[in-house]
Amino acid sequence: MDDIPMVDDSPEALLPHQNFSVDVVLGSDESKATGSSISPNEGPLFKSDYFEENEIVIVENFKKLYPHVDFKKQQIPRCWNTTDRYHSLNISTDLLKVRYKGIMPSRQVAIAMRLLGKGQTHKDAAAVRANCPIPKTCGVYYFEVLIASKGLNGYMGIGLSERNVNLNRLPGWDQISYGYHGDDGNFFASSGKGIEYGPTFTTGDVVGCGINFVTREIFFTKNGINIGVAQRNIPIINDLFPTVGMQTMDEMVDTNFGQKPFIYNIQADIEAAERLTINSIRNMELPQERAIWMNRAISTWLAHEGYSQALESFNKATGLTETEAKESLENRKNLSKLIISGKVSEAIKIVEEFYPHLMDENKQLSLLLKTQQFIEMLRNINNQDTSSMNGSSHSTSHTSNSEPLALDLSSLSSRSAPSTSRGNGSKRQNLKRRSSQEDEHRQSPRRALHETVPTDFRNGNSSHSEEPMDVGPECTNGNSVSTTNGCSAGLSSTTIITEPIDGEANGDIVDLTVDGLLPPNTGLTNGYSKTELLPFEKYQPLIEFGQDTFSLFKQVRDCPSQLVTRMNDAFSLICYTDLNQSDKTYLFEQSQRELVANALNSAVLQHLGKENVSPLDKYIVKAHHLREKVLNTTGGAVYADVNRMVFGDSPK
């Protein structure tokens, strides 16, 4: 229906006397001014058929529809806004159903209303907007409206509008407002005069409205069929809200914002928009000078990553020359292979042979490699334990192979205090002392050897005199109590040796020292016999290596918090009787080996006077920043995800 100017001449004189109250039918001025946003006592008929109780289902549906939206930072329209509506509308308690106020009048009243002009002018129009604007990261956004009742005349509009558009109007009549109207099938775009667009719609029809931010087009559907593009070149700098409007009595709509499956297959439009974006990028032809620039970037990246054969073929095809000796490239390639296969000690030997000063000059790299070597040593111990369990194993998803991460300390179960539950559900062994008489047991209060290293390493060394770190089950999982943003604020040692409080020791109880030295002629250590402790001798080299690694840490200047956390996490793993109980087993994932291999490769390149980050990697990072910068202003940017286009990663 076109926007009809206000009629000043009143037709009231033409009406015969009617025994009815206008206030009852239309609502008094007072009720209009103070009308409730949520309709009270509407009964079961005023509840949405699209309501979904399960919030998890709703969130999953939205994530499937709009995988590029960051739902932690952005909202998605999912209901009508009770505070952003015209007072003539009632909204159901589930915020999905909207009805023009009042009840369907009798035939006599309807005739009177028509004579009065009620519902015939824009004065009676009322609209409501959704709870939030549509994020442009949707790429293609869509919602559907069921016409629950066309009401008196079916003067209804469905579309989009900007936040400042007058709500006493049907969508499409004002600037930055768009609407498809049911009474005449016309489309209105920022104008009171519509254009022919599609079929009319009435009770029982499902009308959908979509906006494609890539093509900047608005389209509508009816009963699952796309009617076509209604408007092109939509300005998308302004925020747009899903909007519905009504004008006559008892008009009512129900809304599906995506919490339930749509009738229309919107996924096809989303996929088409993504293909359009990707194809436009891939079909872009670079000028000759840019093509040479890109070829050099690719060649440098292949050399940086150690793809020697691919580099040789690529340079031959493009006429480029290699900038690094083949022997040097092969050395870096072999180093990466050794790290990825878990042979860190062999890699360190090669580094010391071919790049003798690298480890001394780069203490951070040295600490990273030593920490990884500690992880591999613990992995090997675990694998040996697994192979000796007579086929009994427990799988874990954290390892890069099929071996489980489980340390069997069951031999101590009869001598240990009850396991103490930890915050993450894991357990550790509490060793207690025992007298030389097998039938007498006593629990001794004890304190763990504990060290705290200050975080200030600006001079490269600490100003205190700690002993090297001891590693073992009496630890506090390798981190200090005080943490900031998930990173350790200080370093706490861990220990498998408990120390008696002064005056506690006696001739029957002997402590196992840090060095593992046992007093002569003693059959017991720390309350356990040598035979009982024999299975744990395999941890002695690991403990000593951990102490050496911790000593190296003290020499690192301004050690990055990520590296400190990594070292602490690695040390904490020895505390667990069952590694599956620890949340630090991410260190056993193959991706962590790759991380160390990449770090070593970059350090070697820098040591050789080359860029430790390839130009192509820098361009990819820059492309990410540019995409983020224009994401909320350029629709196509949502699908121009470099990681997904180049590496096939999930949407980000």
| pLDDT tens by residue, 444-477 | 333 332 333 333 323 333 333 333 333 333 333 3
Sole residue written with tokens 């981190």 = 479
Among the residue ranges 134-143, 187-196, 402-411, 416-425, the one predicted with the least confidence is 402-411
What pairs with residue 189 in β-bridges? 178
Q: Which positions ≥6 away from 596 have C-beta within 8 Å?
A: 339, 344, 368, 369, 372
H/E element holding 164?
none
Q: Residue 420's pLDDT is what?
A: 35
What pairs with residue 452 in β-bridges? 492
Structure confidence by residue, pLDDT tens digits, 473-510: 333 333 333 333 333 333 333 333 333 334 333 333 32
What integer is the mean pLDDT of 422-428? 38
Tokens coding 405: 């991460």
Give the end-to-end CA distance of the chain in Å, rounded to a whole number. Answer: 43
What integer is the mean pLDDT of 608-620? 88
CB-based burial label for 614 (10 Å; 0-12, 13-18, 19+): buried
Kind of pairing between the strands at 524-525 and 528-529 = antiparallel
DSSP H helical ranges for 430-560: 530-533, 540-553
**Whats the size of the chain, residue-wise?**
652
Structure confidence by residue, pLDDT tens digits, 202-213: 999 999 999 999
Q: Residue 575's pLDDT is what?
A: 83
Is 478:566 a contact under the CB 8 Å cutoff? no
- On average, the pLDDT of the chain sits at 74
Structure confidence by residue, pLDDT tens digits, 7-16: 333 333 323 3
Residue 138 has pLDDT above 90, yes or no: yes
Q: Provide the 10 A C-beta neighbour count for residue 74.
A: 16
Quick check: pTM over 0.75?
Answer: no
State how far the Cα of 37 lies from the Cα of 242, in Å rounded to an integer.
Answer: 18
Structure confidence by residue, pLDDT tens digits, 557-584: 889 999 999 999 999 998 887 788 889 9
Instruction: Give the SS3 label for residue 245.
Output: strand
Residue 165 has pLDDT above 90, yes or no: yes
Q: Residue 289's pLDDT is what?
A: 85
